[in-house]
Amino acid sequence: MSEKPSVLVIGGGIAGIQASLDLAGRGFQVYVLEETPTIGGRMAQLDKTFPTMDCSICILAPKMMECFRHPNIKLLTYSELKEVKGSVGDFHVKILKKPRYVDETKCTGCASCTEHCPIEVPNEFDMKLGMRRAIYMPMPQAVPRTMTVDRENCIECGLCAKVCRAGAVDFTQQPQDIDLDVGAIIIATGFDQYDPSEIVEYGYQRLKNVLTALEFERWVCASGPVGGHLLRPADGGIPKKIAFIQCVGSRGRKLGTPFCSSVCCMYATKEALIIREHAPDVQVSIFYNELRAFGKGFQEFVNRAREEYGVKYIRSRPGEIREDPNTKTLTIWYDDTLTREIKALTGVDLVVLCPALLPRPSNKKLAEIAGVNLDDCGFFKVTHPLLAPVDTNVPGIFVCGYCQSPKDIPDSVAQASAAAARAAEAIALVQVQRAPGGTA
Amino acid sequence: MSEFEPKIVGFLCNWCGYAGADLAGTSRLSYPTNIRIIRLMCSGRVEPAFILSAFENGVDGVLVAGCHPGDCHYRAGNNYAEKRVEKTKKLLDTLGIGSDRLRLEWISAAEGEKFASVIKDFTEKLRVKGPSPLGGDFEVEAAAVQHNSTESIHDIMKRTKALYCQECGKCSSSCPITRLDPLYSPRLAVEKALMGLEDAVLTDKGLWSCLTCYLCRQRCPLDIEYDELIRTCRAKAAANGIEGNCSHEGVLYSLSRLMAHPKTKQNRLDWIPPGAEFTKAGDILYYVGCLPYFNTVFDDIGVKNIEIAQSMLKILNAAGIKPVLLENERCCGHDLSFAGDQESFEKLAKMNTTALKKTGVSKVVTTCPECYRTLKVDYTELFGKQKFEVLHASELITDLINNGKIKFEGKLDKKVSYQDPCRLGRHMGVYDAPRNVITSIPGVELVEMERNRENALCCGVSAWMGCGRHSKQMQVERLTEAKNTTADLLVTSCPKCQIHLNCALSEKLPVKKEEVSIETCDLSVLVARALNLTQTSTAVEMISR
């Protein structure tokens, strides 16, 4: 390590961003590896955050920009990790930078190429509810502000290249191998959403008025596919009754996951509030099992939803959702477990399923490459959950955010700072050991 | 050696038969003392179940005596008696007991002499005929495996994973029974068990309301085995002398239990259609199940169940397969097992397994999903892995179609909907095979009901238990759903679904007939029709009513 000591951060979500900024602020050279074309991660997809009801992208975008502009941070977006070798203080990392077919140094993000592209495909950032072009930027606040060509869907008509005044479109780009030497690695790969279509009685993907929570976040977001209007997905009508179902695939023993995703009770409350703010006459019900409002200000937040906003909390996991084939309006059958009555909530215009949030399946590959351990559920294992909550079994590799265990944004940020501090400490220790007269 | 003295049970009507016997007594007429008289208000009260139950208890003959035709004090009770005795005679013939051990006589209050002579004659004939094959000592060999009624409620909870219950109410809000009758709910059953209230669990009437249709288990996030919990608790309750409300007065249980007698020698192969072929040794065995009995018992609602067996045999023959048929095949025991009679079930299981093993077949095919589940899952649980593979007809027919063994010529222009039987669908996970068979018939269009596959609604009754208002409501609901698909034909692959749905159609319903009336048909019968293997289409006859 002749130059500045450096750290590789895998994952450009809020945890990865926080760890990178912490380390860069201390003078470390930080590389942020992100597999999608933009950093921001899941938080960028959210409309608002609990319990403060901040606009999510409004508080995240400045941090994303800070990452981009920081002299000590280099963003490696649209890239994959290929190989990790070496040990703490001296990791050799191979990264594959996938071709964007757009020159990052030339593209200004003016989007005139997007306007001319004839191909429309569902936008992954909008949970496939909205459309994007084959040359695209996933979201307006994308960082880096660079277009990407999706070659799977591109028909190579060349229109984008013709209209680009910066001459940035370059179809000759090839995958690029990048070799890095870093002193420490931080893993922050976040989560994936469980696909609830397996739970057939809830009719996800069969019934049009059933959405998942992340889909709903995009659905009501002002920059989302319908511009933030509260609509029925089936026909664009105005909803009068909306219901949330918790624990869809979580805390189970058959389908989904055995663990509690820890954020659903709170984000459902938050989304209920968003609905009531959009349209105060909409009746909102939340079907919960155990209301886990465990954090600071959380119970108060739920109380406010109940008292000020009139959100109805029903203790039950509904049995099934049935649809009126003509109106597409839904009926939810449930057992009100507090009164022991079997009831039907009729005339529901929109059901939001709160699915289990899973550690990413790609963690397995990452764990193999980096030699770190996963637990049975696919989370990264730490050496001691109480006393070493960010240390993996490999010295010099740390972990933070949802990929370590279910947690919300504040906890992810706190853990990211912890991982940054531990990474800095590990590098410092190696430096001391290798200094003349050191032990190594 | 003392001469054989037959035991006879006489069901006599209060007004004629019994009065006739009384007259015989007061007239000091002598007649053999072999008869034990049971007085009923009317011979129309005599159910086939009563007669079979008498044979089950070891009698050698049964006499039913009522008023002469036209003299019934309740207008037509003796007409019913005549029909029922006729039906029971058929059952006795199939069972191998012999219809001549059952006698129906019209004896008026003035015919004391006739009564005495009938008894004399009947006793004499039975004496010549010898004892009933099922008479004598009814104690048979010990059950194959110790049945688990001794398991504690906590152990049952542990085994069926009920200890994981989060009391979320998903089961109870899914349960088709709870929706109609809130007194029963799977959640409350588990809750009572969790609280250790063993008596409350076992004496709960709801214990017998459960359809074990698997919908709650299918949906339970914790994978609690409600069906197994209910089955074990029923066995435990039965061991404590608590019984459920069985339908058809328990005639089908009696039949199964009579088949569990080791000396039973049935005549169950009289249904083989002319020209059809089967063997005694081969590779594939067709396990017919209780179809020959159902055919007799449910004759009056217009379901000809034996057509299923005839169709299946013809399909197999058309594919060049001569299946093995067991001459003395016994009931698989499914219904007894789910009705709490674990002991008889285990006897049947042992005898069937032995008989199947003896044939050396490699495949056993069933047309009944309950036999399928029982042979494949329950027998394996009792005796370990079997040497033969168990297939449902839909699976075998799919194979035959895929291998080109059977080919459909011509078209069958029908719009068809499919009822998933709970044992085949949710219990065993076979959803696609029957659908593949239906859609591979040229001209047939498959339209799904609103609730299908995993979400399908049960036909309303299972294990001949507690058929009542709720069952009928479910059947009406299901038939309406089928009707809404605009299908011409409702196909199922379970003989019992067909029986139950047709039973609803044969009764007075709170809805207009045309709103629910739909032709029903078994999958095998549909295939045989598409292959032009059947001349008559009973399915059409059936519901044109």
B226-283 confidence digits (pLDDT tens): 999 999 999 999 988 898 888 888 999 999 999 998 888 999 999 999 999 999 889 9
pLDDT computed for residue A434 by the predictor: 84
Helix (H) or strand (E) holding B395: helix B393-402
A248 contacts in chain B (CB < 8 Å): none
B145 has pLDDT over 80: no
pLDDT tens digits for A341-394? 999 999 999 999 999 999 999 999 999 999 999 999 999 999 999 999 999 999
Q: Search chain B and give the residue with CA nearest A341.
A: B182
Using a pLDDT cut of 70, give the percent of chain A over it: 99
Pairwise CB contact (< 8 Å): A289 & B166? yes
Find where tokens 């990865």 sit. A16
Q: What per-residue confidence (pLDDT) applies to B1?
A: 44
Which residue in A253, A320, A334 is closest to B223 by CB distance? Answer: A253
pTM assigned to the model: 0.91
3-state secondary structure of B343: helix
Does the pLDDT at position A8 exceed 90? Answer: yes
Considering CB atoms only, which of A201, A251, A337 is closest to B167? A337
Closest residue to A342, CB basis, from B179, B451, B455:
B179
Which two structure tokens, joined as six digits, stand for A102? 């757009």
| Range with the poorest average pLDDT among A205-209, B183-187, B401-405 | B183-187
Average pLDDT, integer, range A36-53 = 95
- CA angle at residue A377 from A376 to A382, to 5 degrees? 75
- Give A230-254 pLDDT, tens digit per residue: 999 999 999 999 999 999 999 999 9
User: pLDDT band at B19, cuts 50/70/90?
Assistant: very high
Residues on chain B touching A355 (C-beta within 8 angstroms): none
User: Is pLDDT above 80 for B149?
Assistant: no
- In this structure, are strands A148-149 and A357-359 parallel, antiparallel, or unpaired? unpaired
**pLDDT per residue over A151-165, tens digit each?**
999 999 999 999 999
Chain B residues whose beta carbon lies within 8 Å of the beta carbon of residue A320? 173-174, 219, 455
Mean pLDDT over each residue of chain B, to the nearest integer: 91
User: Are A342 and B178 inside 8 Å of each other by CB?
Assistant: yes
Q: What is the DSSP string of A97-160?
A: E---SB-TTT-----HHHHH---EEE-TTTTTSSEEESEE-SSTT-SS---EE-TTT-----HH
- The pLDDT, as a whole number, for residue B144 is 45
Structure tokens at B490: 């409702």
pLDDT greater than 80 at residue B2:
no
Residue B542 confidence (pLDDT): 39
Residue of A nearest to B175 (CA): A319
Instruction: Kindly list the residues from chain A whose CB atom is less than 8 angstroms away from the CB atom of residue B188.
Output: 340
Alpha helix ranges (H) inside A323-408: 363-370
Distance from CA of A346 to the nearest CA of B (A): 14
- At B545, the pLDDT band (50, 70, 90 cuts) reads very low
Residues of A in contact with B225 (CB under 8 A): none
Measured between CB atoms, which of A249, A252, A337 is closest to B169? A337
Residue A342 is predicted with a pLDDT of: 93
Query: In sequence order, what are the beta bridge partners of B38?
Result: B11
pLDDT of residue B264: 87
CA dist A12 and A306 (Å) reads 36
> What type of residue is B291?
L
Contacts of A251 in chain B (CB under 8 A): 166, 221
| Each residue's pLDDT tens digit, B284-331 | 999 999 999 999 999 888 888 999 999 999 999 999 999 999 999 999
- Coil vs helix vs strand at A6: strand
CA gap B368, B346 in Å, rounded? 19
What secondary structure does DSSP assign to B108-177, as a single string? Answer: -TT-HHHHHHHHHHHHHHHHHH-S-TT-S----SPPSS--GGGS-HHHHHHHTTGGG-----HHHHH-HH
Residue A355, helix vs strand vs coil = strand
pLDDT band per the 50, 70, 90 thresholds, residue B18: very high
Looking at CA atoms only, how far is residue B455 from chain A in angstroms? 7
The yes-or-no verdict on residue B530 having pLDDT over 50 is yes
Query: Within 13 Å, how many C-alpha atoms sit on residue B81's CB side?
Result: 30
Res. B69: pLDDT tops 70? yes
Q: What is the pLDDT of residue B136?
A: 57
Confidence of residue B529 (pLDDT cuts 50, 70, 90): very high
Residue B178, pLDDT above cutoff 50: yes
Strand locations in A394-433, DSSP E?
A: 397-399
Residue corresponding to tokens 């609509």: A231
| pLDDT average, residue stretch A63-85 | 97
The whole-number average pLDDT for the span A102-107 is 94
The pair of structure tokens assigned to B277 is: 């072929």
Q: Three-state SS for A10?
A: strand
The pLDDT assigned to B205 comes to 87
Q: What angle do CA A170, A175, A178 make, to 5 degrees?
A: 120
The amino acid present at A320, given as its one-letter code, is E
pLDDT in tens, A253-281: 999 999 999 999 999 999 999 999 999 99
β-pairing verdict for A350-355 and A241-248: parallel
Partners of residue A316 in chain B, C-beta under 8 Å: 168-170, 173
Q: Tell whether the torsion through CA atoms of A178, A179, A181 and A186 is positive or negative.
A: positive
Q: B455, A316: Cβ pair inside 8 Å? A: no
* Pair type for strands A148-149 and A135-136: antiparallel
Q: Quick one: pLDDT band at residue A439, thresholds 50, 70, 90?
A: low
CB contact under 8 A, B169 and A317: yes
B57 contact partners, CB below 8 Å, separation of at least 6 = B138
| Distance in angstroms (rounded) separating the CA atoms of residues B45 and B285 | 40
- Residue A440: its pLDDT value, please? 57
Quick one: average pLDDT of A281-304?
A: 94
What is the residue-averaged pLDDT of chain A? 95
Q: What confidence category does residue A438 fall into, taking pLDDT thresholds of 50, 70 and 90?
A: low
Q: How much is the pLDDT for B137?
A: 52
Q: How far is CA A305 from CA A268, A315, A325, in A?
A: 10, 16, 33
Q: Are B168 and A316 in contact (CB < 8 Å)?
A: yes
Q: Of A316, A320, A325, which is closest to B455 when you measure between CB atoms?
A: A320
